[in-house]
Amino acid sequence: MNCPKCGNMLTPGSGYCIFCEEQFHTERYDLRKSLCPVCGKSFSSNENYCPDCGRLLYSSQTEEQKTENTTKKSEKEKTNYIFVFLVSILCLVVTFTAFNVVVMKSDVSNFPSLQSYKIGLSDLLGISINPKPEPLPNPEPEITTKPIETTTWTTSQQETKEQDALPYELRVYSDGLAETGMYYRVTLKYKDSELNYRTSPQLIAKGSAGSNIAGKLKNGEVIVVEYIYNNTWAVFKRDGRYVFVSIYNRNDPSDYSVLQPTN
């Protein structure tokens, strides 16, 4: 039943409206009827429209609000259902993908059904399931022990070997050469004197220029003597070739030495 004054729903069996605080008495109001809020005419509580002005009554408005609320609730529930459905689909996809990854990386040869599934999946994806062959370890090299071969040289072979080790231009003098590699200083009686060095171990007569003189050494000059020839000639290199210089004055070991070793 609605309040005959404000039109709001009344509590069943109550004579008091909690909205407009109107008191109802049987001698003033017929509680079975309500008043239209527009024209003030009374109408029965079971009527939806005012019989005089056609006003939509509050009871009908309440029903429409209920219908609207029900519609909104249904739409919200529908949205929730769609969200739950999408989340479920996503979970299924993730689970299925993880399962396939585990199957492809695992050895399932002991499970025929999973092995068949793995083969079919590999064919579908174009992936080879054959494991890569492990590289074979490099074989250790065989170590064989051979006796050391010793070579015995005869005297003639030894001489030939030593001769081959000499510079080509000195091989003709191989019989009298001895290797030394020492430093010698030119020591002459007179400071302004010079010492001839020659292209061959041969002295020229005094007063003759000689065709084999290659140059002169100054007093105090130091040379590196690589070989000694016949114990009287020092052999060293000058201007890219080997030359000879007498160790003793007049090439006589009994005379004084014009080359003195410095080391």
Please give the single-letter amino acid code of residue 170: L
Q: Using one digit for the tens of pLDDT, what is the confidence trace for 230-248?
A: 999 999 999 989 999 999 9
Q: Are 210 and 204 in contact (CB under 8 A)?
A: yes
d(C-alpha 155, C-alpha 236), whole Å: 28
Please state the pTM of the whole predicted model: 0.39
Domains of the chain by residue range? 1-56, 75-130, 168-261
Q: Using one digit for the tens of pLDDT, what is the confidence trace for 37-89?
A: 667 677 666 666 777 776 665 544 455 656 676 777 788 888 999 999 999 99
d(C-alpha 236, C-alpha 223), whole Å: 7
Q: Are 150 and 159 in contact (CB under 8 A)?
A: no
H/E stretch holding 66 reads helix 58-105
Select from 189, 206, 215 the least CA-distant residue to 251: 206
DSSP SS3 for 257: strand
CATH T-level topology, domain 168-261? SH3 type barrels. (2.30.30)
Average pLDDT, rounded, for the chain = 77
> What is the β-pairing status of strands 42-44 and 177-186?
unpaired
